[in-house]
């Protein structure tokens, strides 16, 4: 459930970011690409997955800021199909490139949230193209709530492998 204040939304995003950074700290380039974090996914694969869905939230934030009302075809399809396609598209990318891009997307989202109006963030019907959700709900889904879905596996991987 998303928060109902911009300050709380920003704080939850920053808190999730800090947990994610802790889960990445001290891992070697080799450890970033070793499968086993979540079944056959590596840290890099999980980060590419988070990046993909954060890009969705970033698209919505930019659309809200710019008054754009069309959809983006990158997110048409079932979640499983989108995740599989994203995995294939990123499996050979350097892990650090994925992590750097994810950080940049997250920071851009954070800036756009901080500069958005409360109405645009929290009014459920403010943007008809979000189909009944508030922008804050979508941001929560694709940032701190989504990081929460993966942080236990990333933290466990980190604790087992960092410094080894």
- The pLDDT score that the predictor gives to residue 86 is 77
pLDDT at 71: 60
CA distance 22 to 20: 5
Take residue 111 and report the two structure tokens written for it: 């800036």
- The answer as to whether 48 is a domain residue is yes
First to last CA, the chain: 38
How many structural domains are present in the chain? 1
Residue 126 covered by a domain: yes
In a domain, 1, yes or no: no
Q: Is the dihedral of CA 30, 36, 40, 44 positive or negative?
A: negative
> What's residue 131's pLDDT?
74
- CATH code of residue 75: 1.20.120.450
pLDDT of residue 3: 66
Q: What is the pLDDT of residue 2?
A: 53
Q: What is the pLDDT of residue 75?
A: 57
Taking 70 as the pLDDT cut, the residues of the chain under it are: 1-3, 69-77
* Residue-number span of the structural domain to which 109 is assigned: 6-161
Helix axes 79-90, 43-66, angle to 10 degrees: 110
pLDDT at position 64: 84
In a domain, 150, yes or no: yes
User: DSSP character for 68?
Assistant: -
């Amino acid at each position: 459930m998303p928060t109902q204040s911009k300050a709380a939304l920003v704080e939850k995003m920053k808190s999730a970011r800090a947990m994610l950074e802790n889960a990445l700290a001290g891992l070697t380039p080799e450890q970033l690409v070793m499968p086993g974090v979540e079944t056959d996914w590596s840290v890099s694969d999980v980060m590419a997955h988070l990046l993909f869905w954060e890009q969705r939230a970033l698209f919505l934030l930019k659309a809200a800021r710019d008054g754009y009302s069309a959809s983006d075809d990158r997110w048409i399809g079932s979640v499983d199909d989108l995740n599989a396609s994203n995995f294939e598209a990123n499996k050979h990318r350097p892990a650090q490139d994925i992590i750097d891009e994810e950080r940049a997307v997250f920071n851009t989202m954070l800036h756009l949230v901080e500069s958005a109006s409360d109405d645009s963030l929290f009014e459920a019907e403010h943007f008809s193209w979000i189909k009944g959700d508030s922008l804050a709900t979508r941001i929560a889904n694709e940032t701190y709530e989504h990081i929460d879905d993966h942080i236990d596996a990333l933290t466990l991987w980190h604790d087992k492998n960092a410094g080894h």
